[in-house]
Chain A
Amino acid sequence: MKKWLLCLAAVAILVILQLTGIDLLLLSGPIRSGPYIHQIVILVGINIILAVSLNLINGFTGQFSIGHAGFFAVGAYTSAFVISVLEKSVRAVLVFLPEFGQNAVLLLIGLSAGAILAGIAGLAVGIPSLRLRGDYLAIVTLGFGEIIRVLILNINAIGGSRGFTGIPHLSNFFWVYLFVLVTVVVVHNLVYSSYGRAFISIRDDEIAAEAMGVDTTRFKVTSFVVSSMFAGVAGGLFGHFTMYLHPNTFTFIKSFELIIMIVIGGLGSIEGAILGAILITVILEVFREFGPYRLVIFSITMILIMLYRPQGILGSKALFRRKQKVLTTR
């Protein structure tokens, strides 16, 4: 009961922040980089969704996926395409609603379409994962991501190599952080339930898990599907914020970036993924003044962290949580 109240309070805060115009606050801030900071804040939110969802596969289920950008792309393009087709008719049906109501309905339609298609893509990747493990799975997920990108490049209806233009601006601070909340709550409840112990048991020892009666197949596929659905949602939010999509945003470099986030933050820790997403996104932006030196410094930092703290900043620790109660036998 308490948790629900907490979530409700968080949503209320988001609404207040949006209504009182944190955007406006940032826009009229002392520095003229208001919109720039606003953009980073949104990007951080989207990266948190991606990192937390990727952590479900890599950190909790122990499967090795380096193709998350592919699902991100599927979500982004699906949502953008569905909205560009349906926008007029939906608005015509919903004339009685105010503008922001129409936008909300449209966005939710787009995001659900994106999530569903990304989920299907996740299923398609999850099924080979039944036979492959470790590095083989890694390269297959990477390959799927690249295939998706090449397919998008070749579909003319969604812009192909020109990029998808004219996507309506529907997502904003409120929606992005609402879905951050949803992702964190869902992944948290999934993983820390007795049901979700199965994910962790597969990570720790697949054979032992199977011997204990865990349906490893089902859980692996579940983690892929859930994770890619959230990546799809993140994609939709991204597309409706930037209003322009290009396949080059979704190369495997993006997947690597996400992997770096969860590993640097601490694999198998939701807080770690959030921290990693914030750190990497912000650091990459802050380093911009270093110009061409930026990524060199970034990569050396990354190497040093991995050499001296390979478990990431937080390790698999979970902050803000009391010790797990011992599960009593029923």
Chain B
Amino acid sequence: MTNFLQQLINGIVLGSNYALIALGYTMVYGVLRLINFAHGDVYMFGAFMGYYLARFGTAQSEGSLIHAILIMIAAMILSACLGMLIERFAYRPGRSGSKFTMAFWLGILGAVIGHFIRPALSGLVAGAITGIVIGAVVERFAIRSVRRASRLAFLILAIGVSFLLENGGQLVFGADPKFFPQIIPAMQMNVGDLSINNQQIAVLVVAIILMVLLNTVVNYTRTGRAMRAVSFNLDAARLMGVNTDRIIAITFAIGSSLAAAGGILISLNYPKIDPLMGIMPGLKAFVAAVLGGIGNIPGAMLGGFIIGIAEVMTVGYLQSTYRDAIAFSILILILILKPAGIMGKGLVEKV
């Protein structure tokens, strides 16, 4: 029994992480009907930002709570910027067309090639400038991006962005794993026979605070109302005067910052971070979002907790090698029984 309760605690802690990532998936899906495969990599990015901030900012106050909170907020803001950047240059052009897209991508491409030819800052900058100029000229005089891309094209775009973040991460951060510093000193506590450390408590508390905050934003603010309107019907929301592009950007920002929070929180307990760390948690979080009913915020939280607990129980009672399969097995079972997810509403297709 003690063992079971212990596993349950571990499961809830892991689950709250999945829930945080799943929220971003479900919000983006809600407004754009897009599986944002890059989301798991934003989570990785958040963890790395936390790592660098903690490494290079620990001069004064070592391991204080305020310090940890500041690191987390800064990493969340940086990841929110990344999320908005992805939205602006990868997804918006295919949706409503936008300027400087080609310049942006060719700029990155130029920077990479420039750095390959001459591995120094000068190569990087020269390449980037060449790329931006070529891109701007081509875009101005030759081709514009397609305005109405198909869903599958969007999916490939998302996969492309995800590949870019993973491989770019390996290039920029280095492929070898890094160890996340202990921004909160660990303290073991015993409640009866159960042991829990303050990092686990921190994970749980922060996750709950963020979820409550998100719930407030979505349900009780103007922006939240606009978000709900966009997820209900994008075109109608636009006709009613909602600035849909802005709302979608905000959705990406919020989702990405939650993912970054998840990335830092999980690094407290599992401090090994590497550029590919986002793939599996991202996928499982997506499963959690679908499980709860994609586009549904409480559903994503519920799904996250279910997946987290199930995974820990599998490791504890069955075999740890099956941990990656359990999430998918639950998903398939539930979708066969209830195709719209646990809390999702079944959509009737109109003829």
- Which residues in A have some Cβ–Cβ distance to B below 8 Å? 58, 64, 128, 131-132, 134-136, 138-140, 142-144, 146-147, 150-151, 153-154, 161, 207, 252, 256, 259-260, 263-264, 267, 290-293, 295-304, 306-311
Minimum C-beta distance from B26 to chain A (A): 12
A260 to B37, CA, bound (A): 14
Q: Does the CB pair A135–B294 fall under 8 Å?
A: yes
Q: Given the known A-B contacts A128-B335, A131-B336, A302-B163, are A139 and B286 also in contact in the complex, defined by CB atoms under 8 Å?
A: yes
- Which residues of A are found within 8 Å of B175, using beta-carbon distances? 292
Interface of B is mostly: helix
- B4 close to chain A: CB less than 8 A: no
Interface centre among A153, A263, A310 (most CB of B within 10 A): A310
Q: Does the CB pair A295–B331 fall under 8 Å?
A: no
Q: Does the CB pair A260–B321 fall under 8 Å?
A: no
A308's partner among B145, B163, B168, B322 (CB-CB below 8 A) is B145
Interface centre among B108, B151, B156 (most CB of A within 10 A): B156
The residue on A at minimum CB distance from B166 is: A295
Q: Given the known A-B contacts A299-B163, A304-B105, A310-B149, are A140 and B322 also in contact in the complex, defined by CB atoms under 8 Å?
A: no
CB pairs A–B below 8 angstroms (29 shown): A128-B336, A139-B286, A143-B287, A143-B329, A144-B332, A151-B325, A154-B322, A259-B155, A259-B156, A259-B159, A292-B171, A293-B116, A295-B163, A295-B167, A296-B112, A297-B109, A297-B112, A299-B164, A300-B164, A302-B160, A306-B94, A307-B146, A307-B149, A307-B157, A308-B143, A308-B146, A309-B146, A310-B94, A311-B153
Q: Does the CB pair B94–A297 fall under 8 Å?
A: no
Question: What 1/0 mask marks residues of chain B from 48 to 64 whose CB sits below 8 Å from any chain A CB?
Answer: 00000000000000000
- Which residues of B are found within 8 Å of A267, using beta-carbon distances? 152
Minimum C-beta distance from B92 to chain A (A): 10
Q: Does the CB pair A144–B328 fall under 8 Å?
A: yes
A309 to B116, CA, bound (A): 27
Minimum C-beta distance from B268 to chain A (A): 27
Other 4 A-B pairs with CB < 8 A, given A147-B329, A259-B159, A310-B94: A263-B152, A293-B171, A300-B105, A302-B156
The residue on A at minimum CB distance from B341 is: A136
Q: Does the CB pair B153–A263 fall under 8 Å?
A: yes
- Which residues of B are found within 8 Å of A153, using beta-carbon distances? 321
A303's partner among B29, B160, B351 (CB-CB below 8 A) is B160
- B271 close to chain A: CB less than 8 A: no
Q: Does the CB pair B94–A138 fall under 8 Å?
A: no
Minimum C-beta distance from B117 to chain A (A): 10
- Which residues of B are found within 8 Å of A309, using beta-carbon distances? 146
